[in-house]
Amino acid sequence: MLINLSTVVLFAINLWLQMNSEPGAALPVILSVVGIAMLGVSG
């Protein structure tokens, strides 16, 4: 449950970064990969 809640927070931060950063920024892509991995771990 904690991993799922952390993933939701991570994707919310990721959405904010994608809307406020310049195109081609690496951090939103990295956060997306980390979020997907967290979803894979949590089941």
The residue whose two tokens read 């690496």 is 26
- pLDDT tens per residue, range 1-43: 899 999 999 999 999 999 998 988 999 999 999 999 999 999 8
pLDDT the model gives residue 24: 87
pTM for the complete prediction?
0.85
Q: Supply the pLDDT for residue 31.
A: 94
| Unique residue bearing structure tokens 């894979």 | 40
Query: Alpha helices of the chain — where are they, by DSSP H?
Result: 2-20, 26-42
18: CB partners within 8 A, 6+ apart: 28
